[in-house]
């Protein structure tokens, strides 16, 4: 589907409204953490940022983390066949591995693939999600080229607050969760558990495809304690386990499944040492376990990461602040496939100075990373904020960033079959990807009930890593089809518009993104679009409350994209409409109803190739997304 810039006009149209009402609960909370790696008002954050809190999660009735991210300007999501399937996140035209994902401050991406399995996280265990768009390598190091997604698990509040939720829907879907949060002025805790199950649907259009089931069990624990006004400590634990079925890449299709476990644990100690200096020590451990079962016997990929950070915030003068920090982490790999290397460490130091007064603000940061595998990298960040008036800010920024090649990129062994030769999957000569980004933002409070954010940016990626089959869709049978290479460069230009408007009791959130991401290496694919990046996306959420009842609608439109860098495999554009309703019933009960893909539109977001056992050739197929679905749920939150 190709559509014009009419979407931009639609996004801006509500600005013409003159009616004003108090700001509603859809607005972001006043403090954010991810942009500056410390708590700060969202108005002071120099990066473009979108926040989804617990109220948003419940109001939007999002099915999973990816449902929320797909609503974010500048972010596109590509699933490989519905909920629980392998998915990709593209922030500002960068690849999935070029964006950093954190849970409670801890990196969760598997060190073998370099990607985070966000499809395996359960929203019932999540309190808040912050999506930073734009490079943050000067604070976080590798992977933060496109942006940073940070997920915060549920925390406690004063008193005792039990919760119970049960839901059921199409495709044999069941959702169950329960939890208890509470605490007093010194101690807070939250304990929650969840179980999601679905019989699924046919995830591909391959002959012989069957329904692919999905099961996810989650457990969350958080505990914090204030020993005094200046000393606080806490722990956070999150564990997700389950199984996801899928069609193995054979024709006719054959069933396969993956047992997964995602877990992260962290502990922190924060102290206000004096009037000017606050210090925070964080320790963490994450595990990503994958055990697959397929017609060839399956495989095991388990990755582990130990992490430590020391952050120091010094407010040494009025309007000025200095952030000093040290990071260390070590990755380890345990796999049924024997890699040439199975561990590496990374250590880093960073510094960032910020100044802000009534007229303008500045930010300047530098980080130095030293990695066991590829040596050292420096990352810079600079921003200037001009406070035009109390309601308008203009922000210009520049940043440098990088991404380290993964274990798969560097060390995955060749796959050899007697009589058929070997397929090459890795390249030990790969260099880290590097990028330079320029951005201009305008933030405006148009009225007490309306806000507008506009961002224009340009990112230039050097030594971008892609596989040969992505470079040329005709190389499917080549021995080097999956060998990763550094193409000279890729260039991304983009525009984002986000509008929040309240009018006559209705709350609207509209977003438009233009992403022009292209290969600019000067090779045969020069000027071709990077794979699976829609050029235009438009999202809309509309909600209103009528006493104890509330209704809402969501609309997502994405233009066409390509599955390969040669732009020979087109993925058609699509539009998806959803409706939702809720009732705050007596006795602390709430009932919700959600209808997704209301018009039962057939669409897909990714292509693949399967090996035809009769012709010994690769045949194309695409991953199916769900048609019209419904989910009814009941939530009980008794007041104790």
What residues have CB less than 8 Å from 298, skipping those under 6 apart?
A: 256, 291, 292, 336
Question: How far apart are the C-alpha atoms of 115 and 146, rounded to whole Å?
Answer: 13
What residues have CB less than 8 Å from 361, skipping those under 6 apart?
A: 44, 46, 354, 355, 383, 384, 385, 387
How sure is the predictor about 1, in pLDDT bands with cuts at 50, 70 and 90?
very low
CA-nearest of 147, 114, 123, 183 to 35 is 147
pLDDT digits (tens, 9 = 90+) for 584-617: 999 999 999 999 999 999 999 998 888 887 888 8
Question: How far apart are the C-alpha atoms of 246 and 116, rounded to whole Å?
Answer: 19
How sure is the predictor about 29, in pLDDT bands with cuts at 50, 70 and 90?
very low
Q: Residue 60 in contact with residue 126, Cβ under 8 Å?
A: no
Task: Assess whether pLDDT exceeds 60 at residue 169.
Answer: yes
CA-nearest of 234, 216, 215 to 224 is 234
Q: Residue 190 in contact with residue 154, Cβ under 8 Å?
A: yes
Q: What is the DSSP letter of 593?
A: E
Determine if the peptide bond prior to 420 is cis (ω within 30°): no
pLDDT digits (tens, 9 = 90+) for 63-73: 999 999 999 99
What residues have CB less than 8 Å from 517, skipping those under 6 apart?
A: 93, 94, 490, 491, 492, 494, 529, 530, 533
Task: Assess whether pLDDT exceeds 50 at residue 4.
Answer: no
In this predicted structure, what is the pLDDT of residue 417? 67
Residue 124: φ, ψ to 5°: -65, -20
Question: How far apart are the C-alpha atoms of 605 and 562, rounded to whole Å?
Answer: 10
Which pTM was predicted? 0.92
CA-nearest of 259, 333, 245 to 290 is 259
Task: Assess whether pLDDT exceeds 50 at residue 43.
Answer: yes
Question: How far apart are the C-alpha atoms of 333 and 340, rounded to whole Å?
Answer: 11
Q: What is the DSSP letter of 391?
A: T
The residue with tokens 């290397």 is 341
The domains of the chain are located at 6-636
- CATH fold of 6-636, please? Maltoporin; Chain A (2.40.170)
Tell me the chain's radius of gyration from C-alpha atoms.
24
Q: Residue 303 in contact with residue 294, Cβ under 8 Å?
A: no
How sure is the predictor about 192, in pLDDT bands with cuts at 50, 70 and 90?
very high
Mean pLDDT of 458-472: 76
Mean pLDDT of 2-26: 36
Per DSSP (E only), the strands in 92-185 are: 99-103, 106-107, 126-133, 147-153, 159-169, 173-183
How sure is the predictor about 316, in pLDDT bands with cuts at 50, 70 and 90?
confident
pLDDT digits (tens, 9 = 90+) for 209-262: 999 999 999 999 999 999 999 999 999 999 999 999 999 888 888 899 999 999
Question: How far apart are the C-alpha atoms of 208 and 267, rounded to whole Å?
Answer: 48
């Amino acid at each position: 589907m190709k559509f014009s810039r009419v979407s931009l006009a639609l996004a801006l149209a509500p600005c013409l409204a003159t009616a004003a009402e108090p700001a509603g609960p859809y607005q972001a909370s006043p403090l954010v953490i991810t942009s500056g790696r410390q708590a700060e008002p969202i108005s002071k954050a120099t990066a473009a940022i979108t926040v989804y809190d617990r109220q948003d999660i419940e109001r939007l009735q999002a099915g999973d983390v990816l449902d929320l991210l797909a609503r974010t300007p500048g972010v596109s999501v590509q699933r490989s066949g519905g909920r629980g399937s392998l998915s990709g996140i593209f922030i500002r035209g960068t690849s999935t591995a070029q964006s950093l994902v954190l849970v409670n401050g801890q990196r969760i991406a598997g060190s073998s693939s370099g990607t985070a399995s966000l499809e395996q996280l359960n929203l019932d265990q999540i309190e808040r999600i912050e999506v930073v768009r734009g490079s943050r390598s000067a604070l976080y190091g590798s992977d933060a080229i496109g942006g940073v997604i940070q997920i915060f698990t549920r925390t406690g509040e004063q008193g005792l607050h039990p919760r119970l939720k049960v839901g059921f829907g199409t495709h044999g879907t069941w959702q169950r969760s329960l939890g208890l949060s509470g605490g007093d002025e010194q101690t807070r805790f939250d304990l929650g558990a969840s179980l999601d199950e679905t019989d699924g649907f046919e995830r591909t259009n391959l002959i012989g495809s069957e329904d692919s089931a999905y099961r996810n069990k989650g457990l969350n624990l958080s505990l914090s304690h204030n020993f005094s006004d200046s000393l606080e400590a806490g722990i956070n634990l999150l564990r997700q386990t389950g199984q996801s079925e899928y069609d193995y890449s054979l024709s006719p299709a054959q069933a396969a499944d993956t047992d997964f476990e995602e877990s992260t644990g962290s502990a922190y100690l924060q102290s206000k040492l004096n009037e000017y200096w606050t210090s925070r020590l964080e320790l963490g451990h994450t595990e990503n376990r994958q055990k697959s079962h397929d017609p060839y016997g399956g495989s095991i990929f388990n990755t582990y990461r130990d992490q430590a950070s020391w952050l120091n915030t010094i407010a040494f003068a009025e309007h000025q602040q200095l952030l000093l920090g040290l990071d260390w982490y070590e990755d380890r790999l345990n796999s049924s496939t024997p890699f040439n290397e199975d561990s590496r460490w990374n250590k880093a130091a960073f510094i960032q100075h910020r100044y802000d007064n009534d007229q303008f603000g500045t930010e300047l940061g530098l980080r130095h990373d030293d990695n066991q595998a590829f040596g050292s990298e420096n990352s810079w960040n600079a921003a200037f904020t001009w406070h035009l008036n109390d309601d308008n800010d203009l922000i210009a920024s520049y940043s440098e960033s990088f991404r380290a090649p993964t274990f798969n990129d560097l060390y995955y062994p060749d796959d050899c079959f007697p009589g058929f030769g070997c397929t090459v999957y890795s390249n030990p000569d790969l260099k880290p990807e590097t990028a330079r980004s320029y951005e201009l933002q305008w933030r405006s409070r148009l009225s007490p009930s309306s806000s507008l954010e506009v961002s224009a940016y340009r990112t230039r990626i050097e030594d971008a890593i892609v596989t040969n089959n992505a470079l040329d869709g005709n190389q499917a049978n080549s021995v080097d089809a999956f060998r990763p290479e550094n193409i000279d460069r890729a260039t991304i230009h983009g525009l984002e518009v986000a509008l929040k408007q309240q009018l006559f009791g209705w709350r609207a959130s509209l977003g438009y993104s233009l992403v022009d991401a292209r290969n600019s290496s000067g090779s045969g694919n020069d000027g071709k679009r990077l794979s699976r990046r829609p050029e235009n996306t438009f999202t809309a959420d509309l909600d209103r409350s009528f006493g104890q009842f509330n209704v809402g609608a969501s609309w997502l439109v994405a233009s066409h994209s390509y599955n390969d860098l040669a732009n020979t495999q087109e993925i058609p554009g699509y539009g998806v409409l959803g409706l939702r309703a809720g009732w705050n019933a007596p006795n602390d009960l709430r009932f919700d109803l959600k209808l997704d893909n209301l018009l039962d539109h057939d669409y897909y977001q990714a292509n693949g190739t399967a090996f035809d056992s009769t012709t010994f050739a690769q045949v194309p197929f695409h991953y199916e997304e769900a048609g019209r679905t419904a989910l009814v749920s009941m939530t009980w939150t008794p007041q104790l």
